[in-house]
C-alpha cells in the first residue's frame, strides 16, 4: 500500500531523543513514504545516534536557528541531499532556567529574549531558509503547547508559545500565495527532554490526569507525530493558520 507522504521530501528539526515528538514524526513520515532529512543542535552526533533507530537512514545537518550562517547554508545542504522540499517540521523550543518554574515576575529580559528568539522567531527564520526549496508549495508544521492559558511552572514559555502561534498565522498569510501552508499541532504534555527541563513539570502534567476525556499517555508521543504527518500530507490542502489539538480533549474542557 502507498503511504500518505509517498514521494514527499521532509525536513524535521528537534530529534533529540526517541521520546521526542519529532522522532515519531520522522518515523511515521518514513513509514508513510517520505524521504526525511534531520537537523540538530547543539549535538548532531546525538541525533545521528537516535536516527539509527528510524526505519530508514536519515541525513543529519547541524542547524542553530539563531545562527545566520547556519540558516544561509541550509538550502544548499538540503538541495544536495534531497533536491527540494515538500514539508518542514519546526520542533524547537528553549527558555533559560530563570524563565521557568515560577520565576515569571523576576525573569530578566535577556532570558525572555532568548526564549522568544529560539521558540518563536525561529519559525519564521526556518520557513524563510527553506522557502527556496518549496517552489511547488508545501506544508510547514510547528509544535505548540496551548497558549490560551497560563500554565503552572511554564512561565515565559507561555508567551513564547503565544508568539509562535501568532507567527504561524502571519506566515500562513504571507506564504499562502506561494502555495505554502503553515499550521501547528498543540500536543498534551509528554516526557520529552523539553518537558524535563521545566521545574515542577509533573504538577502541570497532573491536569491531564483529571481533565482529559480521552486517556492521555505521557509516554506516547506517536499521536502527536501522526498529527504532524497528517498536516504534512495532501489531505489538508486548504487548511492553513490552524492549530490542531492532540491533547485528548483537555483544551475544550471547562471547570
- Which of 161, 170, 196, 219 is catalytic? The answer is 161
Question: Is 161 marked active-site?
Answer: yes
> Scanning the structure block, which residue is given the C-alpha cell 518514513?
30
Question: Is 170 marked active-site?
Answer: no
- Closest C-alpha to 6, from 89, 91, 86: 86
Q: How many other CB atoms are there within 10 angstroms of residue 52's CB atom?
A: 8
Angstrom distance (rounded) from CA 89 to CA 11: 6
Q: What phi, psi does 84 have (nearest 5°)?
A: -155, 180
- Which of 27, 124, 154, 219 is catalytic? The answer is 154
- Closest C-alpha to 1, from 36, 35, 32, 34: 32
Q: What is the DSSP letter of 166?
A: H
Q: Which residues are catalytic?
A: 154, 161
Amino acid at each position: 500500500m502507498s503511504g500518505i507522504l509517498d514521494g514527499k521530501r521532509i525536513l524535521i528539526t528537534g530529534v533529540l531523543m526517541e521520546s521526542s515528538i519529532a522522532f515519531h514524526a520522522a518515523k511515521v513520515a518514513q513509514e508513510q513514504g517520505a524521504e526525511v532529512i534531520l537537523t540538530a543542535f547543539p549535538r548532531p552526533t546525538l541525533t545521528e545516534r537516535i536516527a539509527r533507530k528510524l526505519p530508514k537512514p536519515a541525513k543529519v545537518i547541524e542547524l542553530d536557528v539563531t545562527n545566520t550562517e547556519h540558516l544561509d547554508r541550509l538550502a544548499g545542504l538540503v538541495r544536495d541531499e534531497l533536491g527540494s522540499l515538500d514539508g518542514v517540521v519546526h520542533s524547537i523550543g528553549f527558555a533559560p532556567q530563570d524563565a521557568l518554574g515560577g520565576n515569571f515576575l523576576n525573569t530578566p529580559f535577556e532570558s525572555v529574549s532568548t526564549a522568544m528568539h529560539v521558540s518563536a522567531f525561529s519559525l519564521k527564520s526556518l520557513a524563510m531558509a527553506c522557502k527556496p526549496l518549496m517552489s511547488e508549495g508545501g506544508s510547514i508544521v510547528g509544535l505548540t503547547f496551548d497558549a490560551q492559558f497560563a500554565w503552572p511552572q511554564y512561565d515565559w514559555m507561555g508567551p513564547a508559545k503565544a508568539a509562535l502561534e501568532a507567527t504561524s498565522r502571519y506566515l500562513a498569510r504571507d506564504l499562502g500565495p506561494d502555495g505554502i501552508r503553515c499550521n501547528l499541532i498543540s500536543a498534551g504534555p509528554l516526557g520529552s527532554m523539553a518537558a524535563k527541563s521545566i521545574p515542577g513539570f509533573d504538577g502541570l502534567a497532573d491536569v491531564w490526569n483529571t481533565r482529559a476525556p480521552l486517556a492521555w499517555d505521557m509516554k506516547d508521543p506517536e499521536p502527536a507525530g501522526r498529527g504532524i504527518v497528517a498536516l504534512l500530507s495532501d489531505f489538508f490542502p486548504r487548511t492553513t493558520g490552524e492549530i490542531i489539538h492532540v491533547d485528548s480533549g483537555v483544551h475544550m474542557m471547562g471547570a
